[in-house]
Amino acid sequence: MGGMNPLRRASRKKPPTERLVTLVGRPGCHLCADARAVVSAVCGEVGARWEEKDIEQDAELYRRYWEQIPVVLVDGEQHDFWRVDERRLRRALGA
């Protein structure tokens, strides 16, 4: 059994209410607005917390994700970019 597998499995079993979804985008971005609607709806439905970060206000986020926005992170790990799939996000949150 690999060293990381049990940890990874355990982290996926956290209930949605213990997960944090981060939407990285920028003002005036229509794909970001679409992503916000999906993230807000899914998180509201499953009880997960979510936050939004402005890529233009964070040099590290800008460096890492500028060409991919909007980017969705689940517990700090990249989950999706450009378009957010509602079913896939729900599954990632364990719902």
CB atoms within 10 A of CB 20: 14
The pLDDT assigned to 45 comes to 96
The pLDDT assigned to 2 comes to 45
Quick: pLDDT tens for 14-67.
899 999 999 999 999 999 999 999 999 999 999 999 999 999 999 999 999 999
Prior bond to 70 cis, omega within 30? yes
pLDDT surpasses 70 at 12: no
pTM of the model: 0.84
